[in-house]
Amino acid sequence: MSFLHTIQPLYVLSGLVVGILVGMTGVAGGSLMTPILILAFGVHPVTAVGTDLLYASVTKTSGTLVHSYNRTVDWRVAGWLAVGSVPMTALTIWMLYALDVRGDATHVLVTKVLGVALFLTALSLIFRKSIMQIYERRVGLLDQKLVRNLTIAMGALLGLLVTVSSVGAGAIGVTALMLLYPSMPTARIVGSNIAHAVPLTLLAGMGHWLIGSIDFPILGSLLIGSIPGTIAGSFLAPRVPDPALRFTLAVLLLLVCARFWLWK
């Protein structure tokens, strides 16, 4: 009975809506959930990020199991991403602890980095095809050793962005992998990116737990809504025009981004 008393309907509804969007697009989890927690519910930015990271680790685990069963995960690529993201995540958690998670400096850092991450995510949603066309014309195929090193570097960047803002593992990660591995099937790129996001979000979330920035009642309510929402979104995905949905999401993210950059 005590668990039922901790369930908060508005958080369940938020989890449901975001879960549907994630199921339909494969992205927008942290991009929408963290801003909702901060702007709509007044949750402290660091607590919102930490709670969303553990939330993401649970939801992405189910996705990884499905992709693994379908053999759409390149574990070598996921491993290279982790080589960069794991140490950077640990370093970033230490930095947040050193700054004092409840201090003004951390508050400003999280909101500003969140604004940047949302902006990059929106650009990757709107201009993904254009970015790939320009890349193919000017860069083309890269040496395999360079591709490996760039993958590790991208993992490090994602480790920083995701640990501070909980945003970036989806759209930014997929876009980067499409550029680095143009011959890899899209399903395998998405699966590899999701597989890497599990240890990344779990490690970052556990780090936030250690420094005391997780709200477990909120986490539980979000999961209650998001799990059926993600399933429903997966069934709705074939019925909704993907370009229109991605453009709408991108515009929404740009508006939220502007709100964070104007944050006082």
Residue-wise pLDDT tens digits, 42-94: 898 889 889 989 888 887 787 778 778 878 889 999 999 999 999 999 999 99
Q: Which residue has the tokens 């944050």?
A: 263
| Domain residue limits, the chain | 44-213+243-261
Please report which confidence band the pLDDT of residue 4 belongs to, taking 50, 70 and 90 as the band edges. Answer: low
More confident residue, 198 or 127: 198
Q: Which residue has the tokens 């702007």?
A: 39
| Alpha-helical regions (H) of 100-143 | 104-126, 128-138
| Alpha-helical regions (H) of the chain | 2-6, 9-25, 29-35, 45-69, 75-99, 104-126, 128-138, 144-165, 171-180, 186-210, 216-236, 242-261
Q: Which amino acid is at 247?
A: F
Residue 63 burial class via C-beta count within 10 angstroms: exposed 0-12, middle 13-18, buried 19 and up: buried
Write down the pLDDT at residue 1: 45
CA 133 to chain centre: 25
> The whole model's pTM is what?
0.81
* Residues 154 and 180: beta-carbon distance below 8 Å: yes
Instruction: Kindly report which listed range (67-71, 187-191, 235-239) carries the lowest average pLDDT score.
Output: 235-239
Q: Taking residues 156-172, report their average pLDDT.
A: 84
More confident residue, 104 or 86: 86
- Give the separation between CA 10 and CA 75, rounded to whole angstroms: 38
Computed over every residue of the chain, the mean pLDDT equals 81
Q: Taking residues 187-207, report their average pLDDT.
A: 87
- Give the separation between CA 1 and CA 17, rounded to whole angstroms: 26
Please report which confidence band the pLDDT of residue 103 belongs to, taking 50, 70 and 90 as the band edges. Answer: low
Write down the pLDDT at residue 79: 95
